[in-house]
Amino acid sequence: MRDCIVFPTNGHRPHHDEISGSDLDGDEYWVYWGDDLKINKIVPPLSHTAAEKLTVPKITNEMVTDYYLDQFNHNCYGLIADIHTVVADRSEHGTLSQKCIDSATLFYRAIDSPKTGEIIDMTSVENLQKEFCQSYPRFMMKFDKPFYQSTSVLEKLYLKAKHIVLKNKTNYKKYHTTSSMKCKILPPIATTATIESVNSSVFNRFMNFFLQKLNIITTF
């Protein structure tokens, strides 16, 4: 076989689950055959434990409505991932710090929440944002946010790639450099959206679509 990754079937836990909690539903992997990158220390994989699925005796129209509205208001995967990246970059022990481990665990629970029905409590995420996210490392390319000079390998790779891109002058105008950005304080994030805070036209289109689907469900 060529261009194929074969995972073993023996052992107490599948390797793809150990790598990223993957269930092989389209996940991509990268294999490195070179000698420049070496693993000096093997770190035990994080346990990706999902919450128990919520069960109810009967599903009502109100419950379906609440579910869709909760999902509309709690699309928090990107926020948790961004904050995890900043915490890892700023922490002495990187991704092995307890705050990073807690954030990673919460992220996987958030990913599974549409299937388990769990509503993710974002209190800890809010606290980490206030503590760590007044500015972001440049490699995250948050061009509308204040930035700082990171010492991580991600920052070095980013600056090297940026240098290669900008060597071609035709690419310069397409690239939003962070050098001219003015620092400003990051406002606290609102964890629960209200109808008033959502663009009315977008919200109305969403609700019309949702009510049509709900009508189809109740018809059967």
pLDDT per 10-residue tile (average), the chain, 220 residues: 81 84 80 83 80 80 78 76 95 93 90 80 92 94 91 90 75 51 40 41 55 47
- Beta-carbon contacts of 32 under 8 Å, excluding residues fewer than 6 positions away, are none
The total number of residues shown for the chain amounts to 220
Residue 175 DSSP code: S
CB 119 within 8 A of CB 70: yes
For residue 70, tell me if it sits in a domain. Answer: yes
For residue 26, tell me if it sits in a domain. Answer: no
For residue 45, tell me if it sits in a domain. Answer: no
pLDDT of 96:
92
pLDDT of 209:
57
Across the strands, what pairs with 137?
148
pLDDT of 14:
87
pTM of the model: 0.66
Q: Which domain holds residue 85?
A: 60-219
pLDDT of 201:
54
pLDDT of 217:
42
For residue 29, tell me if it sits in a domain. Answer: no
For residue 137, tell me if it sits in a domain. Answer: yes
Distance CA 57, CA 97 (A): 41
For residue 209, tell me if it sits in a domain. Answer: yes
pLDDT of 99:
95
pLDDT of 31:
82
CB 135 within 8 A of CB 183: yes
For residue 166, tell me if it sits in a domain. Answer: yes
How many structural domains are present in the chain? 1
For residue 162, tell me if it sits in a domain. Answer: yes
Distance CA 83, CA 129 (A): 6
CB 206 within 8 A of CB 72: yes
Distance CA 145, CA 181 (A): 8
